[in-house]
Amino acid sequence: MQVSNIQKRILLILSGIVVAGILIYALAILPTLSAVAPKGFMDARQAAALTSKQIVDLTNLTNEKIKGVNVSSLGGEKEQALSLVRDARATNTQAYQKAFELSQNLQRLAEALNEIKSADAQRLAYDSVATELSLVTEFIGYTQSLNNFLDDLGALVASDTIKNQETVRARLQEVNSRAAQVNTLNDTFNAKMKELDKMF
């Protein structure tokens, strides 16, 4: 009966975690700007895209680990589930560290914007980078919330108490809220970058 209860709770939790799977995907799939774009800007963008891709990979890996927690819980393998929670926390922490690296990449990208000759394109590029910096800040908060959630999820897997259930539900709401905000900023950033791409 305890495994069944945990199964229900983790299935509910997974519906929120999957929402975060597209975080910061925009930079990883940016269209290649034409050769008209300044080299310094292109180099900075490519560095940011590489770091972004690493964040996407780590975020996806974290999600896979959390899904594995569900499978292990279904099979009653508590120790395996707890090990996966620890692994998910480790990859999420790596994503957190990479987010700081991405913010540095974006700073360099902002510094390269003065190479853009068109005033309209430069203004849109500044606006795009500002949006992405806001996104990265929100993502950093998301990873912190997710680590707290994973700690509480581990406590729930180890001990299925009412208190642990309530704590996990509260953490899930916090994670969902952060993920929704990041994804909204991501959509805005994508739209701005499409406009910028047309200018080049």
At 48-97, the pLDDT tens digits run 888 888 888 888 888 888 877 766 665 567 888 889 999 999 999 999 99
Where do the DSSP E strands lie in the chain? none
- Whether the Cβ atoms of residue 192 and residue 127 lie closer than 8 Å to each other: yes
Q: Say whether 59 sits in a helix, a strand or coil.
A: helix
Residues 153/13, Cβ–Cβ less than 8 Å: yes
Burial bucket for residue 61 (CB in 10 Å: 0-12, 13-18, 19+): middle
pTM: 0.78
**pLDDT, tens only, 139-193:** 899 899 999 999 998 898 888 788 988 898 888 888 878 888 887 887 887 787 7
Sequence spans of domains, the chain: 2-199
Summarize pLDDT for 4-25 with one digit per residue, the tens: 455 555 555 554 454 444 444 4
Q: How many CB atoms lie within 10 A of CB 173?
A: 12
> DSSP assignment of 38-89, as one string?
-HHHHHHHHHHHHHHHHHHHHHHHHHHHHHHHHHHHHTT-HHHHHHHHHHHH
Gap between the terminal Cα atoms of the chain: 61
